[in-house]
Structure 1
Amino acid sequence: MDLSPITEGGSVAVSFQNTIDLAQHVEAWGYNRYWLAEHHNMPFIASSATSLLIGHVAGNTNSIRVGSGGIMLPNHAPLVVAEQFGTLETLYPGRIDLGLGRAPGTDGVTAQALRRELQSDGQDFPRLLNELRTYFDPSLSSGKQKVRAIPGTGLNIPVWLLGSSGFSAQLSAQLGLPFAYASHFSPNNTLAALDLYRSQFQPSESMESPHAMLGVNIVAADTDEEAERLATSLYQQFLNLIRNTELPLQPPVESIEEVASEREIMALRQQLGSSIIGSKESVREQLQSFIDKTQADELMVISQIYDHEARIRSYEIVAELFKEDS
């Protein structure tokens, strides 16, 4: 998953160039999907116009699936999302995923600027989701459908529900949809959400059995020490969120203790507790333990690393591990 990070001293244009470069590399290394996330009014994230960036990535790659991790549905009219992803699927058939979240992906003031009169607090997410799905599949509608998504109607675009709690896990299970859980920033609820999803799953036309993907922060480098240093950029990103400090992604420091208090470090451990950081062998051990514990069907790798070449190398190390263990 890519947030198209804006780094200190960088620019949005460079972020987009780096996104394409990373997408082309991971496609060559055998990754299955490349997802982009919708966030707004955050100075370290450039992927706010998510559907546009999905099209840009799909147009500069050949086979990798490209999608959203996710589109924050309460920010948008479902018809607009259906038309956008209908357009993407028509341009890049068989390669588009639609991951949906119910949070705003921003602060309250920005959410109001996005939604205007909608006044959604996320509780109407099931209704919005149902409306969106009927644009793709009119047979899901309870009556005659007067409004159609053109393009969109009749297209088979996989819909994933994203979540960091039991709400989307339960809804995914009820609807027989694939589920993506944000264990990269909400690790403590991972097993409970997976159990809820798997135990309550109802087979659907699109899926006979549950399929769970987990987001996981991975910072891999040639040595444990270098990986720990690179990970301080991720730590600083969450520190700035805790402090309500608006900054681009910061360069690494030698130790997070240089810039964080004991209480802040405890908060980081709580929120980033499932992060996998280290050399290839260290990552192999941690990754295997994570897979054994969660039995995840897929992993979505997130690597918020300041230096682009180091970020590329991190994804390469993970690809090498899966090829070696396959």
Structure 2
Amino acid sequence: MSKVQSVILETNPHRPVNFNEKAVSKVLEESYLIADVKEDGVRLNLCVMGERRSGYENGYDYPVEWLSREGKRFPVFCHQHVGNPLSFDNRWPDFFETDEALFPEGFMLDAELRIDDLPCKDIAGTLRRHQAIDLSRLKVIVFGILPMSVVRSGQDYDVTHSVMKYHVEYQVKLLKERFPEIAWSVVESLDCFSVEEVDTLYESVRERKLEGLVLKDPNGIYKRSKQSGMWKMTPDDNEDGKVVGLVWGTPGLANEGKVIGFEVLLESGHVVNACKISKALMDEFTAKVSEAEFANSGRVSNPYEGHTVRLTFMERYPDGSLRHPSFDSFRGISEPTIKE
């Protein structure tokens, strides 16, 4: 895992709550729903911060920060030979001064970051590495935009979702023209006027092997943190949690003495054993535990304690426990204990 990164800016973006049919139906009774297709990427808060330079009456620099939803830099962009893509790029003054910029003194794009067509866990792994990455591999799928003044204030943004999507389309168009080396796009989105339409769209998205939907109240505004007004509609076959213990191979069997998984405290409050990992991961985890044991004078310790993880399962029982939970991936990117 990567070393701990400091918070650059507390972006505190609007996070969707779990799907609630009653709340969604209430919105549909009054208007409709904006249904964004949920990409299997990593949440990106891309901040273009226009900052006045000392000694220049009208001069502005444009540092760009590629941040997680926790406001931390992705390690891949901390590489000394890479830095933050587009930061202090000489095309920004033209972008803001020549074009009709929505937010002349800076903005934040709320988006999903994809790398090629990698699945989320491989994207996270790539972002954790301090290695250069070709910008042509980056895909930024945008679903929100805020002025930097609002981001810094930490307040809700009093612009409805129905209006914001047009702001997004306009800004992405300009970004495509000015910075073509990165694949910019607007999130795929449809308006739904009934629960049946929502269900049909969800089924078609899942058939395409995509993650699901994010449903938005068109008259709702962009709020901060995890709040209603946006609902996540995804399959109930994975859950996140934190590592609270190690699972060892059974004595006398092939994996005796090896770490074969983790005890995980789920966000729902249950503790489960998440195993079914590859031989390579068993060796990696066991070696890391052995290193920690050696460093602690022979005392067994868990270097993965508190790490955020995602696990998959076949079925959720009525009491909330899981059938056949399996370790899927770590969720931390800038810091192992923070889900991003």
TM-score, structure 1 normalization = 0.29
Q: Whose helix fraction is larger, Structure 1's or Structure 2's?
A: 1
Q: Which structure shows the bigger proportion of residues in strand conformation?
A: 2
Larger radius of gyration between Structure 1 and Structure 2: 2
Q: TM-score, normalised by structure 2?
A: 0.28
